Amino acid sequence: MISFWEQQSFSGYDYTVVGGGLVGTSTALNIKTMFPKASVVVVDGGIFPKGASTRNAGFACFGSLSELCADIESMGEVAARELVQDRWSGLQILRNRLGDPNLHYKNYGGYELIFDNHLDLLERVDQVNQWLWPIFNKPVFQINARLSQEFGFNTSRVASIIHNPFEGQLDSGAMMKSLLTLAAEKGVRFLTGSRVDSWHAESDQTVLQISGQGDHITIRTQKLAICTNAFTNKLLPDLEIKPGRGLVLITKDVPSLRFQGAFHYQQGYYYFRNVGSRVLFGGGRNLDFSEEETTDFGINQKILEHLQQELVDLILPNQHFEIDQYWSGIMAFGPDKRPLVGLHTPNVGYAVRLGGMGVALGSRVAEQLARLICFSEND
Ligand SMILES: Cc1cc2nc3c(=O)[nH]c(=O)nc-3n(C[C@H](O)[C@H](O)[C@H](O)COP(=O)(O)OP(=O)(O)OC[C@H]3O[C@@H](n4cnc5c(N)ncnc54)[C@H](O)[C@@H]3O)c2cc1C
């Protein structure tokens, strides 16, 4: 049972954000920046945010050539370019807000491995560079077939490599730590280990039922922002969102590692990068789509074994390495790669379904949601 004092100081807020990942924390920070006197709280079910933001690969990317070609096909040129623009803007917001040293941001570039059966992709380079020109004012993709040997990959599989100098990499833990610190400094409050079980509207307020550590509490808020990405179906069942689990592993230091940068292959289903002289490698969800359509953190042995084999065969052939750690995180997908940002009612908004490039997109959609929720009016 809640005390009088708790009720006075802890149970009412101007703005409540559910979900404290990159999107939720950035949304709260944006609201607090626009309205410094407003009370803003972030409620998260994890001890620290536990979804995708602290469990991803840390690619600061906006799409490899093969992914962008697939997006143009499925979404059309205009929508696909808008999405690239939003990812690119999101990255600039993130870097400006937190600063490259706090993100451990490294501008090592991005690369896509092209196998024999996809050599036709190379013919699309000029056309896609032209299409991206309005955003970057420079060619984005360049072919460099010699890099495969230089980087020590299996040259019997990698026929060519496409280089993208605009891509970078960051440390996702450092990113979230720095963002949480900044939000707290600005006066955003956090309730962690606190799961929102349900919410409903009551006259001009929204009421949330929250549980954590065996307790159940109710809080009231003027405005509610839902930023729960893959876990949104319980709170907003009408949105079209499918969870997708992603597996990531990291090796111990690899002596004389020959590459630095962020690498993709097979339309982004596989991705690897250096972390110092370790190799971080993830993906393979396409091997078992149905099993990976889950919000349960867990390890798919079939995918783990495949990733280990790919390290041996493709990425680090003839080099000794040891796996140090592996983990999973949960992404959110829909019929296309666009996120869902909108108002459920004038007092309840959402920014969810961030897909596989939410590190890039997150700060941008948080800006959109903060504006929507702050300036929406009841009739
Ligand atoms: C393995 C993997 C690799 C990835 N690699 C990259 C990459 O290299 N580059 C890139 O750009 N993107 C990458 N992504 C995608 C990116 O990490 C996500 O799109 C982004 O972090 C989504 O942020 P978010 O804040 O929307 O969601 P999340 O980080 O998932 O945050 C949602 C939060 O909501 C909380 N929550 C959920 N339900 C409730 C509830 N009922 N009550 C209270 N709290 C709740 C959760 O605890 C969680 O903290 C990757 C994702 C994964 C899983």
Could you tell me the two tokens for 261? 């940068």
Beta bridge partners of residue 16, listed in sequence order: 41, 224
The pair of structure tokens assigned to 108 is 């090592």
Q: Is the pLDDT of residue 279 over 80?
A: yes
Q: 4-54+174-240+337-375, superfamily in CATH? A: FAD/NAD(P)-binding domain (3.50.50.60)
Look up residue 263 and give its two tokens: 């690498």
Return the ∠ at Cα 347 (arms to 5 and 209), rounded to 5°: 45
Q: Ligand 1 pocket, 190 CB below 6 A?
A: no
What's the average model confidence in pLDDT over 158-170?
97
Give tens-digit pLDDT for 234-270. Answer: 999 999 999 999 999 999 999 999 999 999 999 999 9
What pLDDT score does 206 carry? 97
Judge whether 332 and 230 are in contact, CB under 8 Å. yes
Q: Which residue's CA is the nearest one to ligand 1's atom 22?
A: 358
CATH class for the domain made up of 242-333: alpha beta
Q: Is the CB of 282 under 6 A from ligand 1?
A: yes
pLDDT band at 379 (very low <50, low <70, confident <90, very high): low
Query: Whose CA is closest to 58, among 268, 227, 271?
Result: 271
Percent residues over pLDDT 90 in the chain: 93
Residue 160, pLDDT score: 96
pLDDT, tens only, 121-137:
999 999 999 999 999 99
Pocket residue to mutate for ligand 1, from 43, 359, 363, 368, most atoms within 8 A of Cβ: 359
- On the question of pLDDT at 367 being above 90, the answer is yes
Site to probe by mutation for ligand 1, drawn from 84, 354, 365 as the one with most ligand atoms within 8 Å of Cβ, is: 354
The two tokens of residue 243 are 């969870």
Domain boundaries, the chain: 4-54+174-240+337-375, 242-333
Q: How far is CA 257 from the centre of its chain?
A: 27
Q: How far apart are CA 87 and CA 83, in angstroms?
A: 6
With 90 as the cut, is the pLDDT of residue 208 above it? yes
pTM for the model stands at 0.97
- One DSSP character per residue, 302-318 reads HHHHHHHHHIIIIISTT
pLDDT, position 152: 96
Tell me the CA–centroid distance for residue 263 and ligand 1, in Å. 21
b/e 328-343 (16+ beta carbons within 10 angstroms → b): bbbbbbeeebbbbbee
- Mean of the per-residue pLDDT values for the chain? 96
